[in-house]
Every structure is written in structure tokens, then in C-alpha cells.
Structure 1
């Protein structure tokens, strides 16, 4: 099975997880290429300066300083670099320009002859011609119990709303946002975890769920779990007022 990963150049969490994923895929599955989107935590493309300003204004100086230092540390530590991880596994980068759905970008991805597209933190909406490039479709990792908490930053929102449980969902991508049928889903007890601890925990479980999904797709032996719109909740990027409510609920970012 030839896999193309669609992800973003996250400096905090994804490098070690993608390393784990590539190391633990079944022997018949091979990552033949990776599209690496620009980091876009706010759901849209913004300049680096705009990202910094928005982070500071929404989350405050302590959060900004903590992640600023982590960002600098990631630049000095090659283990935090997705590019370095991919190079160690001899996985080529697929260079795209602009929207992944363009005819030119689709042609580049198609040249790798993928059987399956795997989206991990993909930050563009995928259109049908792209989804049809791979014979077995496209799956996406979302760290929440879909159909609840569709959208951005589910780890923040489940804590903000004082949920006792969250989860991980791997689903077949359609042209909506987190709307496709679910292939693998795992429930996770939140406990007293900070947001950072919850992200790390669910990302690790997410890699294991992607591996289970690959195995199910390869065997063809699976039953899809519904992801009904009528039961969904959807959240975008938080405001400073949401962050105040997060703290008021006794939650921690790290």
C-alpha cells in the first residue's frame, strides 16, 4: 500500500508522532511521499508576525513565552523537525505551491501513485478530485469524539467545557469539515491533564488509530461508524474571553 501523508510543519508535537507512525506501519504499507503545509494553527494562512500577535492577544504573555521558547528549542533540536524525520526515513517531500486542490498540485501527488492519502493536521479543505487520486481514498485524524467538537483546537474546547472524556477519530474525508464516516474511534479519559498533556496523549493514540485504520482498509474488513450532522458541535479559534473561561474552569495549558 502506497501512502502519501498530508500534514503541516508543526514544531511542537508532530515530528515524534510521524516518526512513530512510519516505524510502526505494517510491512505492506510504505510512505512514498509527504506534503508539508505551512503551519496554520488559526485555520487560515497568516504571516509569522500576525500569528505571534494573535497568540499573544488571545492567550496572554505566559502562554506566548512558553511556546515561544518551545519554538526556539524546536529549531535547535533536529528531533523536533518533521523534515529531518522524513529524511531519516527516506520519505521525499512533495513540493506544492498554493492550494493543494490545483490541477498542478494534484498532478504532483498523482505522480507518486498513492493508494491512500493520510491527513494529519491538514489545514486545507480537500476537494473531490484530490480525494479521488488515491484508490483507497483519504483518511484524516481528528483528536475528538466526532461528531462532537468538529473544527479547530478540540483539546482546548473539551477542557473549556469541562468534559470528562474526549477521544480520537480517524475518518474517511469528504468535502466537508470533519464530516466523513468514521473508521476507527477511541474514547479517552481526560482526568487532570493540561492541554499540552492531552495533545501529546491523543496524538500518540491517534497514530495507533491510523495504523489500525490502514490495517482495516488493507483487509477490507470494517464497519463504518456514522458521523451525523444532527449530533455535531463545531468550534473555531478561541477568543480571549474563551481563554478566561478556560482558566475559570480550573484548566491549565501546560
Structure 2
């Protein structure tokens, strides 16, 4: 029986914990997760998805603010784990922690390392137009996602994938790869492949400011942008009246060579067509401030003034 300490926070991590709990050869002896955070309109403290699942399973839950203290490191050592599995935990593991379990710490990362090291690999892969994504099982070391690769699995990024849909696909692929890796851990560690640092790219954390659409980009880039930022932080634009409108869905249509990037070419129930640097982007689903996402036809029933035909939308960046 392999003694495992699990560390993770969001639902993606909880899917991996669920798989570990169901396996007869794996004994999850503790779950580490980030401290409860305020959420919702009432800003009440909310437990993470990993904490909820661990408590349901009767597993001890640890929520240290840091793993750098002697107290936190002693507590971890007391669990006498063979390995620590880390999935979207959100805290840095110091060297003392990496060296505590018998087989060290392994991480499930949502990309084909060394491509897209960092916080937002799923979103960055879609935005960049990558053909494939996947998961990498990595032996953790002090660097950011720099450790040797134990195993990896890949899948194609479909033309309709959003970060939400790709996230769910990887949440199925990842647990399978993790279980296989754990059951063959000594052999995989002996054959681990160092990453090629020269091929590394970095997936920085997303920001709301970064979600503002730039009409000086191609239609293909903008369409990928919208899918990559769905369901968070959601791409947005500034309408003719200065209002910020979120864009949930769009597709690419033919533009007009004589039109200016950002110019509104047509407005009807089938979509709002806006010129880019090459083709045009047709907006299909929008969300005004304080409202829920809606089809363009419903949006235009009450806000047709936001997209006057022929108007050139502002491209001024708003921080």
C-alpha cells in the first residue's frame, strides 16, 4: 500500500484526489489545501474543493499558510508518506518539503512540459493556437515546473475548445496518468527525462486587464482569445457608449477590405460583425454589466445603441 499525502486546491485537483481515494493500492493519509477564502456576495469563508472531498472521505486536512515553517514541516513528516502528490496546490514547496517523502513530491501539470510552465497553461495553449495539450507527471524540484518528466499524455485541442472544456478533458486524462505513474513510480523515476530548458515557454497568470480585446489583432487570434478566457476572466470590449461588454462566444466571418479594424460591419439577430486586421469577428453571446450572458438577439432587444452600424470601436487600453 502506497502512503500518499495529497496537496491541491481547486476542482481540477479534487478530481485527482477522487481517483486516488478509489484505488485499492493507494492510501491517502492526509490532504493539504489552501486556507478557506472569502467568496460570493456575502464574502463568507469557503472551503476548497479538495477540502470538501477530503472531509467527506474522513481524511485529515491541513491548511498551512506556508510550508516554510518548522511546525508545518514537522507535521508533514509525521504522516510518514511514501510520496506527496501535488496538483494545483498554489503554495511553493521548499526543499525540505520536497525531500521529506520517501519518493519525494510529484506534480500533475496541465501542459506538455516544458511548454507552458506556470499558472495558466490551459488558457495559454488555446490562445497560442497549439494543436495539442495534455498532462505531464513531473518529479518536483526547486524550480518552477522544471523537474524531470516521469510520464505524459496528450490530446488534441479542438477548434471549439474553451479553457473550461479543455480543463474538463484534462481532469479525466490527468488522474489516469497519475495512477499509472504512482503504481510504477520507482521504475519511472529511474528513467525520468530532464526537461529541455531551451524549449520552455511560460504561462503567466491571467488578468482582467489582459482580457480586453484588441481590434489590431487578427480574427483568428481574437477568436482563440475569447475561447481561452472562457470561463474566466472573460474577454471584453468597450461599446460605442463606453460600456464594458463581456464576450462569451464568437466566430470568424469574411470582412471588408476597405473597413478599419474595430469597425462595426453589420448588426442583426445572427450576430454583431466587427472588422479586424484581416477577416471579421462575429459576436454571438454577450454579457452586459450586471446581467447574465445572452445571445446577441436578446442583447440587441434592449441595447442596440451599443453597436451602431459603421462605428469604430475604441481600441484604447483600459487597465
TM-score normalised according to structure 2 size: 0.61
* Partner in structure 1 of residue 27 of structure 2: 30
* Partner in structure 1 of residue 8 of structure 2: 7
* Partner in structure 1 of residue 123 of structure 2: 156
SS at match of 1:37: coil
* Partner in structure 2 of residue 196 of structure 1: 164
How many residue pairs get aligned? The number is: 218
* Partner in structure 2 of residue 130 of structure 1: 97
SS at match of 1:213: helix
Query: Which structure has the higher relative contact order (CA within 8 Å, separation 6+)?
Result: 1
What is the CA-CA distance between 1:226 and the residue it aligns to?
2.5
- The runs of at least 4 aligned residues of structure 1 exceeding 4 Å deviation read 218-222
Segment drifting more, 181-190 vs 80-89: 80-89
Structure 2: gaps spanning 5 or more residues? 215-219, 232-319
What is the CA-CA distance between 1:228 and the residue it aligns to?
1.7
Among candidates 222, 225, 228, match of residue 248 of structure 1: 222
Computing the radius of gyration over CA atoms, which structure comes out larger, 1 or 2?
2
TM-score normalised according to structure 1 size: 0.76
Q: Distance in 2 between matches of 1:106 and 1:148?
A: 31
* Partner in structure 2 of residue 61 of structure 1: none
Q: Distance in 1 between matches of 2:128 and 2:30?
A: 38
Asked if 1:207 corresponds to 2:175, the answer is: yes
Aligned residues of 2:135 and 2:173 also touching (Cα < 8 A): yes
SS at match of 1:230: helix
Q: Distance in 1 between matches of 2:183 and 2:163?
A: 30
What is the CA-CA distance between 1:154 and the residue it aligns to?
0.7
In structure 2, relative to structure 1, the CA distance for the partners of 1:131 and 1:244 (3 Å cut) is same
Q: Distance in 1 between matches of 2:4 and 2:16?
A: 16
In structure 2, relative to structure 1, the CA distance for the partners of 1:247 and 1:210 (3 Å cut) is same
Aligned residues of 1:160 and 1:242 also touching (Cα < 8 A): no
In structure 2, relative to structure 1, the CA distance for the partners of 1:190 and 1:38 (3 Å cut) is farther
Between Structure 1 and Structure 2, which shows a larger proportion of helix residues?
A: 1
Between Structure 1 and Structure 2, which shows a larger proportion of strand residues?
A: 2
Aligned residues of 1:125 and 1:177 also touching (Cα < 8 A): no
Question: Aligned ranges for residues 90-109 of structure 1 at < 5 Å?
Answer: 90-96=58-64, 98-109=65-76
In structure 2, relative to structure 1, the CA distance for the partners of 1:190 and 1:84 (3 Å cut) is same
What is the CA-CA distance between 1:221 and the residue it aligns to?
7.6
The RMSD of aligned alpha carbons is: 2.8
Asked if 1:20 corresponds to 2:19, the answer is: yes
Segment drifting more, 170-179 vs 159-168: 159-168
Asked if 1:117 corresponds to 2:114, the answer is: no
SS at match of 1:139: strand
Structure 1: gaps spanning 5 or more residues? 40-46, 50-67
